[in-house]
Amino acid sequence: EAQVTQNPRYLITVTGKKLTVTCSQNMNHEYMSWYRQDPGLGLRQIYYSMNVEVTDKGDVPEGYKVSRKEKRNFPLILESPSPNQTSLYFCATPGQGAREQYFGPGTRLTVT
Amino acid sequence: AQSVAQPEDQVNVAEGNPLTVKCTYSVSGNPYLFWYVQYPNRGLQFLLKYITGDNLVKGSYGFEAEFNKSQTSFHLKKPSALVSDSALYFCAVRPTGNQAGTALIFGKGTTLSVSS
Protein backbone atom coordinates (compact mmCIF):
# COMPACT_ATOMS: atom_id res chain seq x y z
CA GLU A 1 0.00 0.00 0.00
CA ALA A 2 1.29 3.44 -1.01
CA GLN A 3 2.04 5.30 2.16
CA VAL A 4 3.56 8.47 3.57
CA THR A 5 4.33 8.25 7.27
CA GLN A 6 5.20 11.02 9.70
CA ASN A 7 6.42 10.96 13.26
CA PRO A 8 5.55 12.15 15.76
CA ARG A 9 1.86 12.86 15.14
CA TYR A 10 1.67 15.29 18.05
CA LEU A 11 4.44 17.26 19.69
CA ILE A 12 4.48 19.92 22.39
CA THR A 13 7.81 21.58 22.96
CA VAL A 14 9.37 24.76 24.31
CA THR A 15 10.96 27.66 22.50
CA GLY A 16 14.50 26.96 21.38
CA LYS A 17 14.55 23.18 21.82
CA LYS A 18 15.65 21.58 18.58
CA LEU A 19 13.29 19.03 17.08
CA THR A 20 12.98 16.82 14.04
CA VAL A 21 9.84 15.58 12.34
CA THR A 22 10.46 12.51 10.24
CA CYS A 23 8.80 11.67 6.94
CA SER A 24 9.08 8.46 4.97
CA GLN A 25 7.47 7.23 1.73
CA ASN A 26 7.38 3.73 0.25
CA MET A 27 6.61 4.72 -3.36
CA ASN A 28 10.18 5.29 -4.53
CA HIS A 29 9.25 8.84 -5.54
CA GLU A 30 11.99 11.33 -6.21
CA TYR A 31 9.99 14.42 -5.29
CA MET A 32 9.01 15.15 -1.68
CA SER A 33 7.85 18.29 0.07
CA TRP A 34 6.79 19.78 3.39
CA TYR A 35 3.78 22.01 3.98
CA ARG A 36 2.37 23.80 6.96
CA GLN A 37 -1.35 24.33 7.42
CA ASP A 38 -2.69 27.30 9.33
CA PRO A 39 -6.33 28.34 9.73
CA GLY A 40 -7.43 30.76 7.06
CA LEU A 41 -4.17 30.37 5.14
CA GLY A 42 -4.53 26.94 3.56
CA LEU A 43 -1.34 24.98 3.01
CA ARG A 44 1.97 26.64 2.26
CA GLN A 45 5.08 24.88 1.07
CA ILE A 46 8.12 25.04 3.35
CA TYR A 47 10.75 23.06 1.44
CA TYR A 48 10.85 20.53 -1.34
CA SER A 49 13.32 18.03 -2.70
CA MET A 50 13.61 16.96 -6.32
CA ASN A 51 15.90 14.04 -5.47
CA VAL A 52 18.54 12.81 -3.05
CA GLU A 53 20.81 15.66 -1.97
CA VAL A 54 18.68 18.18 -3.91
CA THR A 55 16.54 20.47 -1.79
CA ASP A 56 15.09 23.93 -2.30
CA LYS A 57 13.07 26.53 -0.46
CA GLY A 58 9.34 26.80 -0.81
CA ASP A 59 7.22 29.79 0.13
CA VAL A 60 7.84 29.85 3.89
CA PRO A 61 11.29 28.34 4.61
CA GLU A 62 12.41 30.65 7.42
CA GLY A 63 13.19 28.78 10.62
CA TYR A 64 13.28 25.35 8.99
CA LYS A 65 15.89 23.00 7.58
CA VAL A 66 15.59 19.76 5.66
CA SER A 67 17.87 17.01 4.48
CA ARG A 68 17.54 14.30 1.84
CA LYS A 69 20.21 11.70 2.33
CA GLU A 70 18.13 8.85 0.94
CA LYS A 71 15.16 8.72 -1.38
CA ARG A 72 12.55 7.48 1.07
CA ASN A 73 13.20 9.92 3.93
CA PHE A 74 12.80 13.69 4.13
CA PRO A 75 13.05 14.99 7.71
CA LEU A 76 12.03 18.50 8.72
CA ILE A 77 14.29 20.14 11.28
CA LEU A 78 13.48 23.08 13.53
CA GLU A 79 16.79 24.13 15.06
CA SER A 80 15.29 26.72 17.41
CA PRO A 81 11.49 26.50 17.37
CA SER A 82 9.44 29.59 18.12
CA PRO A 83 5.73 29.95 18.97
CA ASN A 84 4.93 31.18 15.43
CA GLN A 85 5.89 27.73 14.21
CA THR A 86 2.95 26.21 16.04
CA SER A 87 1.09 24.62 13.18
CA LEU A 88 -0.02 21.43 11.47
CA TYR A 89 2.70 20.00 9.25
CA PHE A 90 2.30 17.69 6.27
CA CYS A 91 4.83 15.77 4.27
CA ALA A 92 3.83 14.96 0.68
CA THR A 93 5.01 13.15 -2.45
CA PRO A 94 5.42 13.37 -5.44
CA GLY A 95 3.69 16.57 -6.52
CA GLN A 96 5.23 17.12 -9.92
CA GLY A 97 3.41 18.08 -13.07
CA ALA A 98 -0.01 16.51 -13.41
CA ARG A 99 0.54 13.99 -10.64
CA GLU A 100 -1.51 14.31 -7.50
CA GLN A 101 0.20 14.37 -4.15
CA TYR A 102 -0.01 11.82 -1.40
CA PHE A 103 0.01 13.44 2.01
CA GLY A 104 1.16 12.07 5.31
CA PRO A 105 -1.25 12.07 8.28
CA GLY A 106 0.14 15.31 9.67
CA THR A 107 2.13 16.41 12.72
CA ARG A 108 0.51 18.86 15.08
CA LEU A 109 3.27 20.93 16.65
CA THR A 110 2.81 23.29 19.59
CA VAL A 111 5.69 25.52 20.65
CA THR A 112 5.24 27.26 24.00
CA ALA B 1 0.86 37.10 -7.79
CA GLN B 2 -0.56 33.68 -8.45
CA SER B 3 -3.41 32.75 -6.19
CA VAL B 4 -6.37 30.48 -5.59
CA ALA B 5 -9.59 31.78 -4.08
CA GLN B 6 -12.26 29.83 -2.29
CA PRO B 7 -14.78 32.58 -1.61
CA GLU B 8 -16.82 30.69 0.98
CA ASP B 9 -15.36 29.75 4.34
CA GLN B 10 -18.31 27.44 4.96
CA VAL B 11 -21.01 25.81 2.87
CA ASN B 12 -24.07 24.33 4.53
CA VAL B 13 -26.37 21.91 2.72
CA ALA B 14 -29.02 19.41 3.68
CA GLU B 15 -28.43 15.74 3.03
CA GLY B 16 -29.73 14.73 -0.38
CA ASN B 17 -29.39 18.21 -1.84
CA PRO B 18 -26.80 19.12 -4.46
CA LEU B 19 -23.67 20.87 -3.29
CA THR B 20 -21.18 23.23 -4.88
CA VAL B 21 -17.88 24.39 -3.45
CA LYS B 22 -16.44 27.25 -5.43
CA CYS B 23 -12.88 27.82 -6.58
CA THR B 24 -11.34 30.43 -8.84
CA TYR B 25 -7.70 30.90 -9.67
CA SER B 26 -5.30 33.48 -10.98
CA VAL B 27 -2.45 31.54 -12.58
CA SER B 28 -0.96 32.13 -15.98
CA GLY B 29 -1.06 29.57 -18.74
CA ASN B 30 -2.91 26.28 -18.43
CA PRO B 31 -2.37 25.02 -14.90
CA TYR B 32 -3.28 21.65 -13.48
CA LEU B 33 -6.23 21.84 -11.09
CA PHE B 34 -6.92 19.66 -8.08
CA TRP B 35 -9.39 19.14 -5.27
CA TYR B 36 -8.43 17.60 -1.94
CA VAL B 37 -10.52 16.74 1.09
CA GLN B 38 -9.43 16.72 4.72
CA TYR B 39 -11.40 14.85 7.35
CA PRO B 40 -10.84 15.72 11.02
CA ASN B 41 -7.44 14.63 12.31
CA ARG B 42 -6.50 13.23 8.93
CA GLY B 43 -4.19 14.17 6.11
CA LEU B 44 -5.39 15.47 2.78
CA GLN B 45 -6.90 13.01 0.34
CA PHE B 46 -6.96 13.51 -3.40
CA LEU B 47 -10.45 13.81 -4.91
CA LEU B 48 -9.97 14.69 -8.56
CA LYS B 49 -7.94 16.69 -11.03
CA TYR B 50 -8.25 18.47 -14.34
CA ILE B 51 -5.38 18.22 -16.78
CA THR B 52 -6.95 18.71 -20.20
CA GLY B 53 -9.95 17.62 -22.23
CA ASP B 54 -13.53 17.36 -21.02
CA ASN B 55 -14.46 20.25 -18.76
CA LEU B 56 -16.37 17.97 -16.38
CA VAL B 57 -14.15 15.61 -14.44
CA LYS B 58 -15.33 12.88 -12.13
CA GLY B 59 -13.55 11.82 -8.99
CA SER B 60 -13.85 9.87 -5.79
CA TYR B 61 -16.94 9.50 -3.59
CA GLY B 62 -19.31 10.75 -6.32
CA PHE B 63 -17.71 14.18 -6.59
CA GLU B 64 -17.18 15.96 -9.86
CA ALA B 65 -15.76 19.32 -10.85
CA GLU B 66 -16.45 21.68 -13.70
CA PHE B 67 -13.61 23.57 -15.32
CA ASN B 68 -14.41 26.91 -16.92
CA LYS B 69 -11.44 28.45 -18.67
CA SER B 70 -13.02 31.82 -19.40
CA GLN B 71 -13.99 32.27 -15.76
CA THR B 72 -10.82 30.55 -14.46
CA SER B 73 -12.97 28.48 -12.16
CA PHE B 74 -12.96 24.90 -11.02
CA HIS B 75 -16.05 24.35 -8.87
CA LEU B 76 -16.53 21.11 -6.98
CA LYS B 77 -19.98 19.53 -7.17
CA LYS B 78 -21.98 16.58 -6.02
CA PRO B 79 -25.57 15.83 -7.05
CA SER B 80 -26.67 14.50 -3.66
CA ALA B 81 -24.79 15.34 -0.47
CA LEU B 82 -24.19 12.88 2.36
CA VAL B 83 -23.58 13.67 6.02
CA SER B 84 -20.27 11.84 5.65
CA ASP B 85 -19.17 14.45 3.07
CA SER B 86 -18.77 16.96 5.89
CA ALA B 87 -15.11 17.93 5.82
CA LEU B 88 -12.65 20.64 4.81
CA TYR B 89 -12.13 20.96 1.06
CA PHE B 90 -9.13 22.50 -0.64
CA CYS B 91 -8.78 23.64 -4.20
CA ALA B 92 -5.18 23.61 -5.48
CA VAL B 93 -3.43 24.67 -8.65
CA ARG B 94 -0.04 23.81 -10.09
CA PRO B 95 1.43 26.06 -12.80
CA THR B 96 2.71 24.31 -15.90
CA GLY B 97 5.59 24.88 -18.30
CA ASN B 98 8.91 25.87 -16.77
CA GLN B 99 7.37 25.83 -13.35
CA ALA B 100 6.13 22.26 -13.64
CA GLY B 101 8.05 21.18 -10.59
CA THR B 102 6.73 23.85 -8.30
CA ALA B 103 4.42 23.53 -5.39
CA LEU B 104 0.70 23.37 -5.38
CA ILE B 105 -0.92 26.72 -4.69
CA PHE B 106 -3.73 26.07 -2.24
CA GLY B 107 -6.89 27.95 -1.53
CA LYS B 108 -7.72 28.67 2.10
CA GLY B 109 -10.21 25.85 2.30
CA THR B 110 -13.99 25.58 2.56
CA THR B 111 -15.71 23.72 5.35
CA LEU B 112 -18.63 21.70 4.07
CA SER B 113 -21.31 20.89 6.59
CA VAL B 114 -24.06 18.48 5.57
CA SER B 115 -27.04 18.25 7.92
CA SER B 116 -29.33 15.26 8.22
| Long-range contacts formed by B81-85: CB under 8 A, 24+ apart | B81/B13, B81/B14, B81/B15, B81/B16, B81/B17, B81/B18, B81/B19, B81/B112, B81/B114, B82/B15, B82/B114, B83/B15, B83/B114, B83/B115, B83/B116, B84/B114, B85/B19, B85/B61, B85/B112, B85/B114
State whether residue A43 sits within 8 Å of chain B by CB: yes
* Predicted pLDDT at B6: 97
Q: Rounded to whole angstroms, how far apart are CA atoms A30 and A14?
A: 33
Contact B108, A105 (CB under 8 A): no
B residues 44-103 lying closer than 8 A (beta carbon) to A: 44-46, 49, 51, 90, 92, 94, 96, 100-101, 103
B contact test, residue of A57, A91, A93, A100 with most B CBs within 10 A: A100
pLDDT digits (tens, 9 = 90+) for B52-74: 999 999 999 999 999 999 999 99
Q: CB within 8 A of A99, min separation 6: which ones?
A: none
Answer for the pair A58, A66: CB distance below 8 angstroms, yes or no. Answer: no
Position A96 scores a pLDDT of: 67
3-state SS assignment for residue B61 = helix
Contact at CB, A101 and B46, closer than 8 angstroms: yes
pLDDT in tens, A8-39: 999 999 999 999 999 999 988 888 999 999 98
Q: Which of B4, B46, B96 sits opposite A100 (nearest CB)?
A: B46
Q: Measure the CA–CA gap between A90 and B90, rounded to whole angstroms.
A: 14
Contacts of A35 (CB under 8 A, 6+ apart): A43, A44, A45, A46, A58, A89, A90, A91, A92, B103
Distance of CA A107 to the CA centre of its chain: 9
Residue A68 contacts residue B3 (beta carbons within 8 Å): no
- Give the pLDDT of chain B (116 residues) as one tens digit per residue: 789 999 999 999 999 999 999 999 998 888 899 999 999 878 899 999 999 999 999 999 999 999 999 999 999 999 999 999 999 999 999 887 655 456 788 999 999 999 99
